[in-house]
Amino acid sequence: MQYPKLLLWLLIGLAALLYMRFSADQVDSITASDIDLPADSPDIYVTGLALARYDEQGIEIMTVNANSLAVYNSIGQSLMSQPVVVLSQQGQTTWRVTADQAIILANDDIEFRHNVVAVQVSSVPATVVRSDVMQVSDQGKRIRSDLAVNIVKGGQTVDAIGMDVKLDTLEPVIELLSEVTFVYEPS
């Protein structure tokens, strides 16, 4: 009579052990596949980044959203994937910059790479600047590129090699560096 009860308890224990073992494997596999760490092992890795920067008066001057952020202390750089950076001035949103990647340099400059689009959202019609590489510097007061740029505002299209945009006023000053072509299509 003791053996059937002992056998029943052993079977229940074995079933519970197998259940815990298989459910733990599923949790581990889900966790590992969801995180997808970069191959070069960053010091800090964040997914779903949402960050805001404020000035001395507590007014928001920049927000940053990205799919991921990998921080590399040894080289003083951080890598963001799919960044969306919104610059504000005097409490008004002025520019939105998107790209496939961005590198935050040690001096807080941000270098955007691949499919970079900067949109001046504070003007109508909006100014749209495209390039393969753009750098936001001076705490968001300057955007520059040494590569080919395409600028569209309404019916105006400008292509050039290199630009420097000063953002310290609500109306930016855009300096085009070389090989400038201009097309105006009246409406």
**CATH number of the domain enclosing 54:** 2.60.450.10
Q: Are residues 127 and 67 in the same domain?
A: yes
Q: Within the chain, what is the greatest distance between any pair of CA atoms?
A: 98
Tell which residue, 184, 117, 108, has the closest CA to residue 145: 117
**Type of residue at 182:** F
pLDDT tens for the chain, 187 residues long, are 455 555 566 666 666 665 666 665 554 444 444 556 566 788 888 899 898 888 888 888 888 999 999 998 888 888 999 999 888 887 788 889 999 999 988 888 889 999 999 998 888 888 899 999 999 888 777 889 999 999 999 889 999 999 998 877 667 788 999 998 988 887 6
**Domain range enclosing 108:** 44-184
Q: Are residues 69 and 97 in the same domain?
A: yes
Bridge partners for 136 per DSSP: 110, 143
d(CA 151, CA 174) in angstroms, rounded, equals 10
118-153 as b/e: b if 16+ CB within 10 A: bbbbbeeeebebbbebbbbbeebbbbbbeeebebbb
Q: Which two tokens stand for residue 176?
A: 């085009």
72-106 as b/e: b if 16+ CB within 10 A: beeeeebbbbebbbbbbbeeeebbbbbbebbbbee
Q: Are residues 100 and 13 in the same domain?
A: no
Q: Are residues 27 and 68 in the same domain?
A: no
Q: Are residues 123 and 143 in the same domain?
A: yes
Backbone angles phi, psi at 109, to 5 degrees: -70, 150
Q: How many domains does the chain have?
A: 2
pTM to 2 decimals? 0.73
Q: Are residues 27 and 53 in the same domain?
A: no
Q: How far is CA 22 from CA 11, 13, 29, 38, in A?
A: 16, 14, 11, 27
Residue with tokens 């080919």: 148
Q: Are residues 26 and 57 in the same domain?
A: no
